[in-house]
Amino acid sequence: MSLVDNRQEEGAAGRQRLLSVLAKASAGELLACWKRTALDPSVELLRGPESGLVALQGRAGGTGQPFHVGEVSATRVTVRIGSGHVGHAMISGRDSRKAQLVAVIDALAQDPAQAGLIEREIVAPLERLASEADAKLREETAATRVNFFTMVRGED
């Protein structure tokens, strides 16, 4: 693999992580982080925001044949910011303002001059919040861990 390919691969992984972290974050927390950056790029909507559905697939038995469990509402949008960078977003739910903000942040992160700030002020803090929330849920669940004893049946 050439150095260029390698870099593109890394870029894709970084962008995948950014979009996933932002999509899973709550709108309130995302907005709070965004405001702290004080960034205010000009935004041109290239597509959307558009609400629709994504068909959700599971697998029979957990690992077998895929099947449709149902659908989830989703919103997608594509923007171009003043620097010319294009950002995409698709999030579950119908919050078009959140979707647009995710797309704007995705576009800003394409700009090497802003990438560090985006990572430091938005992506990393939101990722930390998410893992803290998961850790809290795991700890609350752990308190309900049970050890059942099998009772001996019979005469003695």
27 binds another protein per the rule CB under 8 A: no
Q: Which stretch binds another protein (CB under 8 A): 11-19, 30-38, 109-117, 120-128?
A: 11-19
Residue 13 is encoded by which pair of tokens?
A: 């992984």
* Residue the block writes with tokens 């992984």: 13
Q: How far are the Cα atoms of 2, 100, 116 from residue 87, in angstroms, in the given order? A: 26, 9, 17
- Among residues 38, 142, 151, 152, the one that binds another protein under rule CB under 8 A: 142
Closer to another protein at the Cβ: 145 or 153?
Answer: 145
Q: Work out the burial of residue 109: count CB atoms within 10 Å of its CB; fewer than 13 is exposed, 13-18 middle, 19 or more buried.
A: buried
CA distances from 110 to 18, 53, 85, 124, 145 (A): 11, 27, 6, 16, 45
Cβ 127 vs Cβ 14: under 8 Å: no
What character string, x for contact with another protein (CB under 8 A) and - otherwise, covers 106-125? --------------------
| Residue 105 in the binding site for another protein (CB under 8 A) | no
Which residues within the stretch 62-91 sit at the binding site for another protein (CB under 8 A)?
62-74, 76, 78, 88, 90-91
- Interface with another protein (CB under 8 A), residue from 6, 10, 53, 132: 53
Decide: is 59 part of the binding site for another protein (CB under 8 A). Answer: yes
Question: Cis (ω within 30 of 0) for the bond into 66?
Answer: no
Residue with Cβ nearer another protein (12 or 36): 12
Q: How far is CA 30 from the centre of its chain?
A: 11
Binding stretches for another protein (CB under 8 A): 12, 15-16, 19-20, 23-24, 50-74, 76, 78, 88, 90-94, 134-148, 150
